[in-house]
Amino acid sequence: MRIAIRTEHAEQIIADSYAGASKPLTKTTSVRNLHDVQSWRSSPRDERRADTTRKFAAVPFYLELASHSPEPLPPHSFPAVFDLADGQRRYPDKGLIKSLLDQGLVSGQTISDELVFVLTQDGQATFERHQ
């Protein structure tokens, strides 16, 4: 989904809020079908618990990027693919998304043939409590 900010700006946003080495926005992904929620669930390894610092930085970051989409998105949602304004494509971290899906904190919804992750009520409560 198109996002009206450049890669450098997106990377600066997450750098300002998360000091860890493994940033939650990736250049490549092992997801076979980006717009099929089940593809995001498949993973050979388990992700760490959803209360890690990385996850609590990632979800608000994904929501911030989504707020720059010229296309309307449901409240509390972000796309599976971030097509940034400078032509770069980035993805949410697969293991992180798998963990959020498995714990019922996000669900998948298709909008204009693109997968969007929407925070569930439990997800909204979890991430609002942590702010």
Q: What is the pTM of this model?
A: 0.91
Q: Give residue limits of the domains in the chain.
A: 2-130
pLDDT at 56: 92
CA distance 119 to 50: 13
pLDDT at 44: 52
| Residue showing tokens 């980035």 | 90
DSSP assignment of 23-83, as one string?
-SEES----SSTT-HHHHH--SSPPPPTTSHHHHHHHHHHHHHHTT-SS---TTEEES-EE
* DSSP 8-state code for residue 87: S
Q: How many CB atoms lie within 10 A of CB 3?
A: 26
Cβ contacts of 126 within 8 Å, gap of 6 or more = 50, 105
Identify the segments of the chain with pLDDT beneath 50: 51
pLDDT at 30: 86
pLDDT at 52: 81
